[in-house]
Amino acid sequence: NAGVTQTPKFQVLKTGQSMTLQCAQDMNHEYMSWYRQDPGMGLRLIHYSVGAGITDQGEVPNGYNVSRSTTEDFPLRLLSAAPSQTSVYFCASKTDWTASTDTQYFGPGTRLTVL
Amino acid sequence: GENVEQHPSTLSVQEGDSAVIKCTYSDSASNYFPWYKQELGKGPQLIIDIRSNVGEKKDQRIAVTLNKTAKHFSLHITETQPEDSAVYFCAARRPQGGFKTIFGAGTRLFVKA
């Protein structure tokens, strides 16, 4: 298993540009999520999905869109990038959304800089 | 709102010494407390976790303790080694509201050889 994969590893955007951060997992996990990591602030949840076709907002959803058309993929879209979105983005997955399975597996991250 | 505070933000120890990282949480409904280790350039990786019905859990050199009354939980690493150097995150998860996990700000641990 490759686990959770993310592309690209690094990206530089200009303000107003759009892009999609890709995330895929090959563990047949129902639950997938996106976090952003900023210095001194830990990880903050952007959006999550409990299964194909189902998504919901996390703590900091503004400026980001997600979709979940397949179990494997959970892309994160920035429609109009802003400097405040400069961060490291992590995708994570776990078996399902119930309380009995809690271990989240994180991808390697995407470092995004918005100029 | 829910909050997890983590201390210290930076910790430097000599190889072989113990390291302790402490967290407090605000949401009394939280019932699951994972700890993650993040090495440079990588994503966080779960190293140990504890549920609210347990007071202590140990896995080799790593242990976690939980005081539900005080809403404190701690990570203890004994006999530290240089490869323990990393950023450690505590987190607290509540069972409602999408099973939201709130992370602490992280502790950067340096183990000096």
pLDDT value at residue A41: 82
- Residue A41: its chain B contacts at CB < 8 A? 105
B1: confidence class by pLDDT, cuts 50, 70, 90 = low
A59: confidence class by pLDDT, cuts 50, 70, 90 = confident
User: A75 to chain B, minimum CA–CA distance in Å?
Assistant: 17
Q: Which of A25, A43, A54, A56 to mutate to test the interface with B (most CBs of B within 10 A)?
A: A43
User: B105 to chain A, minimum CA–CA distance in Å?
Assistant: 4
Chain B: residue nearest A57 by CA?
A: B98
CB-CB: which of B45, B89, B99 is closest to A42? B89
Query: CB burial class (10 A; 0-12, 13-18, 19+) of residue A39?
Result: exposed
The answer to whether residue B43 neighbours chain A at the CB level (below 8 Å) is yes
A104:B104 CB<8 A:
no
A103: confidence class by pLDDT, cuts 50, 70, 90 = confident
Question: Tokens in use for A44?
Answer: 């903050």
Chain A: residue nearest B101 by CA?
A: A45
Question: Tokens in use for A33?
Answer: 């999520």
B103:A106 CB<8 A:
no
Residue with more model confidence, A61 or A97:
A61
The closest of B35, B25, B32 to B2, measured between CA atoms, is B25
The one-character DSSP state at B96 is S
Yes or no: say if B111 and B87 are a contact pair by the CB < 8 Å rule: no
Residue with more model confidence, B3 or A65:
A65
The answer to whether residue B32 neighbours chain A at the CB level (below 8 Å) is yes
Q: In chain A, pLDDT over 70 holds for what percent of residues?
A: 95
Whether pLDDT at A99 is above 90 = no
The answer to whether residue B44 neighbours chain A at the CB level (below 8 Å) is yes
Yes or no: say if B82 and B94 are a contact pair by the CB < 8 Å rule: no
- Residue A40: its chain B contacts at CB < 8 A? 9, 105-106
Mean pLDDT of B66-91: 96
Cα B23 from Cα B5, distance rounded (Å): 5
B100:A59 CB<8 A:
yes
- C-alpha dihedral sign at A56, A58, A61, A67: negative
B99: confidence class by pLDDT, cuts 50, 70, 90 = low
The answer to whether residue B104 neighbours chain A at the CB level (below 8 Å) is yes
User: A79 to chain B, minimum CA–CA distance in Å?
Assistant: 25
A42: confidence class by pLDDT, cuts 50, 70, 90 = confident
Whether pLDDT at B52 is above 90 = no
Beta-carbon contacts of B69 under 8 Å, excluding residues fewer than 6 positions away, are none
pLDDT value at residue B53: 85
A40: confidence class by pLDDT, cuts 50, 70, 90 = confident
